[in-house]
């Protein structure tokens, strides 16, 4: 794609996605231990389900940011591809701006949630009695990542729209089936090369 914004943010996005993957792996191991402990030894680690909720909340919002980078958010393009190029550019730019406005609104409201948790010293109503600011801080960090990435794409798409660049449709339009297949074939070839060396 050669999108300069993607080139800049993709390494950070990949790192965040890998961290989230390891967090899910650790959560899976903890849940397995919890199940085995309950069934075989009548023993339970207190709060695994709550920790699971925290992990999933952080992974979801971080994944939303990574989804923006990888263009994996769902776009309905049944009519878009039949429209004139100018209209496609306008709608693709509007989509990035809309995503940015949504993510920035979520970040603003989530910041207020964290502020209230700190202000009132809120704790979870579970056996761990977790101070809510701790998981909420990680959650908010994921939301900020989502908002920052969305904002950068929105600014770039608006600049491309103003300049009349056709790259806007290439960078921010929905991925076609052919592009998706080609990308997957390149990924397979890359994995084969890595496995062969």
Tell me, what's the pLDDT at 74? Answer: 82
The string of pLDDT tens digits covering residues 42-88 is 888 778 888 999 999 999 999 999 999 998 888 777 888 788 989 99
Q: How far apart are CA 114 and CA 133, in angstroms?
A: 6
Question: Do the Cβ atoms of 157 and 10 come closer than 8 Å?
Answer: no
Instruction: Output the 3-class SS for 131-191.
Output: ECHHHHHHHHHHHHHHHHHHHHHHHHHHHHHHHCCCHHHHHHCCCCHHHHHHHHHHHHHHH
Q: How far apart are CA 141 and CA 125, in angstroms?
A: 23
Positions in the chain short of pLDDT 70: 1, 176, 197
């Amino acid at each position: 794609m050669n999108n300069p914004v993607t080139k800049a943010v993709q390494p950070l996005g990949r790192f965040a996605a890998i961290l989230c993957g390891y967090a899910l792996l650790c959560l899976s191991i903890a849940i397995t231990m919890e199940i085995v402990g309950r069934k075989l030894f009548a023993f339970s680690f207190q709060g695994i389900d709550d920790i699971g909720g925290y992990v999933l909340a952080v992974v979801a919002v971080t994944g939303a940011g990574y989804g923006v980078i990888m263009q994996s958010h769902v776009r309905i393009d049944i009519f878009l591809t039949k429209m004139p190029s100018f209209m496609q550019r306008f709608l693709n730019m509007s989509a990035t701006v809309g995503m940015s406005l949504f993510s920035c609104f979520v970040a603003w409201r989530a910041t207020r949630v964290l502020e209230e948790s700190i202000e009132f010293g809120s704790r979870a109503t579970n056996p761990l009695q977790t101070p809510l600011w701790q998981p909420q801080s990680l959650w908010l960090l994921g939301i900020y990542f989502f908002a920052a990435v969305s904002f950068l794409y929105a600014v770039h798409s608006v600049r491309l729209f103003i300049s009349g660049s056709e790259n806007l449709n290439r960078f921010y339009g929905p991925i076609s089936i052919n592009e998706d297949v080609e990308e997957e074939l390149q990924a397979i070839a890359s994995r084969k090369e890595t496995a062969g060396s």
